[in-house]
Amino acid sequence: MGKITFFFLLFTLFLSHFVASSLAKRQGDVLGNFYKAKQKKNSVINKSYFTAALENVELDKVILPQDGLKEKDWIKKLPGQPPVKFQQYGGYVTVNESAGRALYYYFTEAENSKSLPLLLWLNGGPGCSSIAYGAMEELGPFRVNSDGKTLHMNDYAWNLAANVLFVESPAGVGFSYTNTSSDLKTSGDNRTANDNLVFLLNWLERFPEYKNRDFYISGESYAGHYVPQLAHAILHHNNLANKTLINLKGIIIGNAVINEWTDFIGNYEYFASHALISDETYLDIHKYCYTDDTYNKPKCYSALEVADNNTYNLDIYNIYFPLCHDGNLTKYPRISSALKFDPCSDHYVHAYMNRRDVQNALHANVTKIQYDWEACSDPLFKNWKDNAPTVIPLLKESLAKGVRVWVFSGDTDGRVPVTSTKRSIQAMNLTVDKSWRSWLYGGEVGGYVETYKGGLTFATVRGAGHEVPSYQPARALSLISHFLSGTLPSGDH
């Protein structure tokens, strides 16, 4: 029995325990549950390698007229928002007319919008919202206050470095919807990449001034799949059309799901090296779960259960961070700063996004969706149809086509930890170009960076959890600015 087969069998036992967790549901919870669900023997998830699927679709049939829609999407002001000097837009883009699928986007221009690139941000799950996390808790210009109705500024927003586009993807996430309810049960990597591509082509019709702009795709967690898959679809269609439909220059993924097997072993390596599990448990997992000769299912499961129990009371997305002990809204907003992330932010964002005045201002939920706005969609991840075991071939494809590829990692995340990412990069068999060194920000080590021949850059962000810009906003802004300008962060002697 090969190692990979073990992996498929590993997690079935722990599903119920995991679901019973008392912590608020987050992007990483969904990912953890998803990992476990897809290992079930009767799983119907297609684990084949990813291929672009729009080959027979004529682009002129999926690109619809967008006249006048940009002006309609202009957001004057969000409820409770401090004054700003940049423009914001929000609205729907139809990605499949016959099924009635539309993706919701929120776009924050840079103050000097004309000179800066266009950057798309995607969150993971699968089934989690780029507005819930990316826009409202990580890199967007605003953070929601503890009253659930007013906002404060994020002084390290990424629209200081780019025009930033957030899209809730696929349909069924957040405000993005489908009029064909069965779509919620047939979503997957494939559909997501195709719909994201059709979204972008239409969005660029709506905002034609960005058509030839340098374009970058960023994302975290399960977007480790979405980002290179969308890049693949773009490269594929640029090639089919024999012209640059989308001017893709680079992709960057953080704490990203990359390669199933290395993601998995790196996880327990991290737990052990950060004193979350004992050496004994770690060695048991190695002996009984990884090794052909000594594989023992009951002992493997029992060691994994010990590891599960040992990490149960932690915020696994940032192992040194406090939990949210009281998510109740406050009558008046607590004094807040983007530099001090509030562990109860999910509750404030949930309250804010479900307000009617907020939805009206955002031009969201215009079709009166039957369910509430949620940060993550259960039906989507529970019915996810296809999930490639690795995106390494796609990262390699982007590199080969001259697309800048960066991988980053917040080094206090225990969900897709830095040890997993290091192993996934090792699995790409690249040769080191500039070896491991620290990079500085504000006179402190911001993290470490290494580059590889062929163009890949790997950077860590010191003291950041799974959602890197939430925990280290200044370091994250420095990192994305370097990525966009194609310069390496530096500092080592």
Contact residues toward ligand NAG (CB under 6 A) are: 46, 48, 51, 53, 57, 62, 94, 96, 98-100, 102, 175, 179-180, 183, 190, 242, 302, 305-306, 309, 326, 328, 359, 365, 367-369, 371-373, 386, 392, 427-429
Nearer to ligand NAG, 73 or 109 (CB): 73
Looking at beta carbons, which residue is closest to ligand NAG? Answer: 53
Nearer to ligand NAG, 56 or 115 (CB): 56
Identify the DSSP state of 132.
Answer: I
Distance CA 264, CA 259 (A): 8
Give just the sign of the alpha carbon dihedral 52, 58, 60, 62: negative
CB of 82 to ligand NAG, least distance (A): 24
Of 130, 146, 187, 221, catalytic: 221
Nearer to ligand NAG, 84 or 329 (CB): 329
Maximum CA extent, the chain: 66
CB of 228 to ligand NAG, least distance (A): 13
223, β-bridge pairs: none
Alpha helices in 135-188 (DSSP H): none
Give just the sign of the alpha carbon dihedral 97, 103, 108, 113: negative
Return the ∠ at Cα 404 (arms to 400 and 408), rounded to 5°: 120
CB of 442 to ligand NAG, least distance (A): 36
Six-digit token pair at 30?
């969904």
110 and 308 Cβ atoms separated by less than 8 Å: no
Name the residue with tokens 């591509």. Answer: 197
Of 232, 347, 350, 466, catalytic: 466
Nearer to ligand NAG, 403 or 428 (CB): 428
Nearer to ligand NAG, 94 or 481 (CB): 94
- 195 carries an active-site annotation: no
Contacts with 399 (C-beta within 8 Å, 6 or more apart), sequence order: 405, 454, 455, 456
Identify the DSSP state of 462.
Answer: T
Q: Which residues of 157-189 are buried (b: 16+ CB within 10 A; e: fewer)?
A: bbbbbbbbbbbbbbbbbbbbbbeeeebbeebbb
Nearer to ligand NAG, 352 or 439 (CB): 352
Cα–Cα distances (Å) from 91 to 19, 104, 361, 367, in that order, read 34, 6, 10, 12
- 363 carries an active-site annotation: no
- 130 carries an active-site annotation: no
Q: How far is CA 320 from the centre of its chain?
A: 21
Nearer to ligand NAG, 183 or 220 (CB): 183
CB of 353 to ligand NAG, least distance (A): 7
Name the residue with tokens 């500092």. Answer: 491
Distance CA 316, CA 465 (A): 9
CB of 293 to ligand NAG, least distance (A): 20
What CA dihedral angle connects 465, 89, 169 and 34, to 10 degrees? 30
CB of 268 to ligand NAG, least distance (A): 15
Distance CA 474, CA 120 (A): 19
CB of 473 to ligand NAG, least distance (A): 27
Cα–Cα distances (Å) from 267 to 179, 262, 460, in that order, read 39, 8, 16
Contacts with 4 (C-beta within 8 Å, 6 or more apart), sequence order: 260, 261, 389
CB of 422 to ligand NAG, least distance (A): 15
Backbone angles phi, psi at 458, to 5 degrees: -120, 130
CB of 85 to ligand NAG, least distance (A): 29
Tell me which residues are annotated as active site: 221, 413, 466
